[in-house]
């Protein structure tokens, strides 16, 4: 089932009894869909990101791989690219810089994973203020995302 994309923040607020931005759902044709299919088929993230550079998921996987190997600066760089590519996609989907980005919508997960990886790498290279800002952003996007990412 296709989720609504980038709902204007004022629609549904009165009926739902909520104020504030509505959740943003990346579209079903986002590059992360193809990247996930290819990752699940066993392809290397480095090959996928070369073909799908707008995939936050592929960049997040590269960040995870670099982090696991102790290459914190590489992890930071990969995560930052995935984060920025995700911000571009979210804005195109109607996101206005605030509001939920639900983990439950699978296409959003690449961005949330890149965001998590960026915070982890920031902490690892001593950027504690950036790490704290990123953790706050991730928790405000979806409070369940961190636990879901850590659980793998």
Label residue 15 by pLDDT band (50, 70, 90): very low
* Nearest CA among 48, 1, 44, 32 for reference residue 112: 32
Count of alpha carbons within 13 angstroms of residue 26, beta-carbon side: 27
* For the chain, percent of residues with pLDDT exceeding 90: 86
Q: Do the beta carbons of residue 79 and residue 45 sit within 8 Å? A: no
Tokens of 80: 């930052």
Q: Name the CA radius of gyration of the chain, rounded.
A: 15
Q: pLDDT tens digit string along 21-35?
A: 999 999 999 999 999
CATH hierarchy code of domain 38-151: 1.25.40
The model's pTM is 0.87
Label residue 20 by pLDDT band (50, 70, 90): confident
Q: Is the pLDDT of residue 17 over 90?
A: no
Separation CA 65–CA 94 (nearest Å): 31
Q: Where are the alpha helices (DSSP H) in the chain?
A: 13-16, 31-40, 45-51, 56-68, 72-92, 109-124, 128-141, 145-151
Label residue 11 by pLDDT band (50, 70, 90): very low
């Amino acid at each position: 089932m296709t989720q609504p994309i980038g709902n204007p923040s004022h629609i549904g607020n009165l009926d739902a009894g909520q104020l504030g931005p509505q959740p943003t759902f990346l579209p079903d044709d986002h590059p992360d869909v193809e990247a996930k299919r290819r990752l699940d088929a066993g392809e290397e993230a480095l090959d996928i990101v070369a073909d799908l550079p707008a995939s936050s998921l592929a960049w997040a996987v590269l960040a995870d791989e670099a982090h696991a190997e102790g290459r914190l600066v590489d992890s930071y760089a990969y995560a930052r690219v995935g984060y920025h590519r995700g911000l571009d996609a979210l804005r195109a989907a109607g996101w206005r810089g605030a509001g939920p980005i639900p983990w439950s919508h699978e296409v959003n997960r690449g961005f949330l994973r890149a965001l998590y990886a960026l915070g982890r790498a920031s902490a690892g290279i001593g950027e504690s203020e950036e790490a704290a800002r990123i953790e706050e952003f991730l928790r405000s996007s979806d409070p369940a995302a961190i636990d879901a990412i850590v659980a793998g």
